[in-house]
Amino acid sequence: MDWVMRQSTTSREFGLIWVDGTRLTDLDFADDVVLIDSDVKRLQELTSAVQQEARKVGLCVNSNKCRVMVSGGWEGSADIYASGATIEISENFCYLGSYISTTGTNCKVNVRIVKAAGVFSKLGKLWKSKKISLPVKTRLYEALVLSTLLNGAELWPVSVTQMKKKLEAAHHRWQRSILGISWKDKVTN
């Protein structure tokens, strides 16, 4: 795939310009590629160039697995074509386990909460066990659930403070469950 990308981008002005003058045209891992450009016309040219070069080595672009995400805005139509089909425009997508969204970090935070909730529910028998002490349960909760919840949080933009209530609500719900306290029970601070 590296060869295809090198052949597609030589002698062309694609991608975003870094401070040092180099260009970022793609992110790739194995056969997953994210093409990057700030102009719809150039992105279409880049997509076509990648498709042509890939065809030379027996690879093809599956338009059903492709997505276009516009961040900010483009003038005119944002339709990009691959393999004769219009690529679907998406508000967000998952690339290598990370959710990228045009609307900000809500998607990332919600995904982290869902993943942590999955870890928490898989340990349901452990939380209800009377044989395991509260300090051990707390350590397991911090090591397994909170680490899953906060994985990658250091990269979340400052605007995540809007999501603080959601994060705290999930955290408190799980703590109450560990302590065997229902939301119906009246417990003073």
How high is the mean pLDDT in each 10-residue block of the chain (189 residues)? 78 79 78 78 84 87 79 67 81 71 68 91 93 94 92 68 78 90 73
Q: Which two tokens stand for residue 184?
A: 């119906």
89 & 145 share domain = no
Domain that holds residue 44: 2-93
CA–CA gap between residue 140 and residue 94 (Å, rounded): 29
Q: What is the pLDDT of residue 101?
A: 72
Q: What is the pLDDT of residue 9?
A: 78
Q: What is the pLDDT of residue 34?
A: 79
64 & 117 share domain = no
pTM: 0.55
Structural domain contains residue 173: yes
